């Protein structure tokens, strides 16, 4: 996967976030480029309705045999709850923009990285951060 692909899909996650005027948007993409997207709805649906959780709820629409072929793109590094859900969903790659430390400048965060949780999974998960980081950080303002 090249940088343009990552930037393209993070931009799509940014578009999702803007739909609900939130800093948090997420996209899941299959190898053919089919995708589903979601944004954070915690103000309406409760504390677990993060963008990553909401998009995981939609991933069955992609109808893939092996979820390890999927990539989840998020405007902000998945929190420990979301990263654990990503592991349980079997998703093989995570790409994000702003880090948990970046998000902590604007609100409360548990300082456990996605990579820490990925290392505990029973299958390999690639985690990459910092893609369009500044654009993602701007969503907080």
Residues with a catalytic annotation lie at 52
Element (H, E) at 90: none
CA dist 105 and 109 (Å) reads 9
Distance between CA atoms of 7 and 74, rounded to whole angstroms? Answer: 11
**Cβ of 30: how many Cβ atoms within 10 Å?**
16
Closest C-alpha to 125, from 63, 54, 59, 67: 67
Is the distance from CB of 98 to CB of 137 less than 8 angstroms?
yes
Pairing assessment for the beta strands 71-76 and 93-98 based on DSSP bridges: parallel
CB-based contact 78:48 (threshold 8 Å): no
């Amino acid at each position: 996967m090249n940088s343009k692909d990552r930037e393209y899909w993070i931009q799509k996650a940014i578009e999702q976030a803007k739909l609900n005027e939130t800093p948090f948007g997420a996209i899941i993409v299959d190898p053919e480029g089919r995708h589903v997207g979601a944004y954070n709805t915690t103000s309406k649906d409760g504390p677990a309705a993060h963008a990553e959780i909401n998009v995981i709820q939609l991933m069955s629409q992609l109808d893939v045999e092996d979820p390890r072929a999927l990539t989840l793109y998020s405007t902000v590094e998945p929190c420990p709850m979301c990263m654990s859900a990503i592991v349980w969903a079997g998703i093989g790659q995570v790409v994000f923009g702003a880090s948990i430390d970046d998000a902590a400048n604007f609100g409360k965060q548990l300082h456990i990285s996605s990579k820490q949780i990925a290392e505990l999974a029973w299958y390999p998960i690639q985690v990459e951060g910092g893609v369009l980081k500044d654009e993602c950080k701007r969503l907080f303002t």
